[in-house]
Amino acid sequence: MPRLSLAISFLTILPVPRGREATPAELAAAMAWFPAVGLILGGLLALTAAVLPPQVTPPAAAALLVALLTGLTRGLHLDGLADTLDGLGGGRTRADALRIMKDHAVGAFGAAGMVAVLLLKYGLLTAALSHGALPLILIFPVVSRFAMVLLAYLSPYARPEGGLGQAMTTLTTGRTLAWAAVSAVALVAGLGHWPGLQSLAGAALLTWGLAAYFRRRLGGVTGDVCGAVNEITEVAALFLGLLST
């Protein structure tokens, strides 16, 4: 499967041609295309916002965009956020936290975190729509998908027994990161959204800090943690972009 198609299939529900099962190395290499998938998602959000009739108010449009993004991504990253917060909140030790994160039931920390992130995205998208900041809506998924690549490159895998996210951490090379970084910068700058470069730099700095925290707290990251960082950096990218609007 071509790497872009693999990245689209992994991150979204969008239909792409499917071939044989991808190897771990192919999945890791496909991460170079994560920012491009972010642009596809941002484009669908911006297009939806642009074609809505004027009778649809910014708050209603923002709610629609939040629901659309959640649906397009199967809620994958929100699930990772909930599992991560449950583990961090309920696990006193590293082993306890990782064990709790494997439980798919959503606890109090996870539920509260999901509600908080959804409300933040709703409020920030409402503000973006009120200011006519469609370019920001277009680029914030690019920023957050690059953040996942950076996190994977910076972090070891936390589970000694392995897991889905292991390929994304142990096999992500400097070349993959460089390609993702160049494409993210090119996509944001090419759209002429210079404040988006500030969002990209801010999200990269935040991701570096989060990588250091998870290394200390969990011994590294998991697939759930990558999803959680995507959600956190989506909020950060919208917030930083609005500061420059």
Residue 164 is predicted with a pLDDT of: 63
Amino acid identity at 81: L
Q: What is the mean pLDDT of the chain?
A: 92
The per-residue pLDDT for range 148-158, each reduced to its tens digit, is 999 999 999 99
Residue 45: name the closest of 67, 60, 13 by CA: 67
List pLDDT tens digits, range 92-103: 899 999 999 988
Torsion angle of C-alpha atoms 168, 8, 14, 237, degrees rounded to 10: 80
* Contact of 168 with 209, CB cutoff 8 Å: no
Average the pLDDT over 149-169 and give the result: 84
Distances (CA, A) of 208 to 82, 171, 188: 21, 18, 20
d(CA 206, CA 108): 25
What number of H helices and E strands is found in the chain?
A: 12, 0
Asked whether the predicted pLDDT for residue 163 surpasses 80, the reply is no
Question: Which two structure tokens, joined as six digits, stand for 166?
Answer: 């292991």
Looking at the DSSP bridge assignments, the partners of residue 157 are 221
Q: Are 146 and 188 in contact (CB under 8 A)?
A: no
Instruction: Encode pLDDT of 28-64 as tens digits.
Output: 899 999 999 999 999 999 999 999 999 999 999 999 9
**What is the arithmetic mean of pLDDT over 80-104?**
92
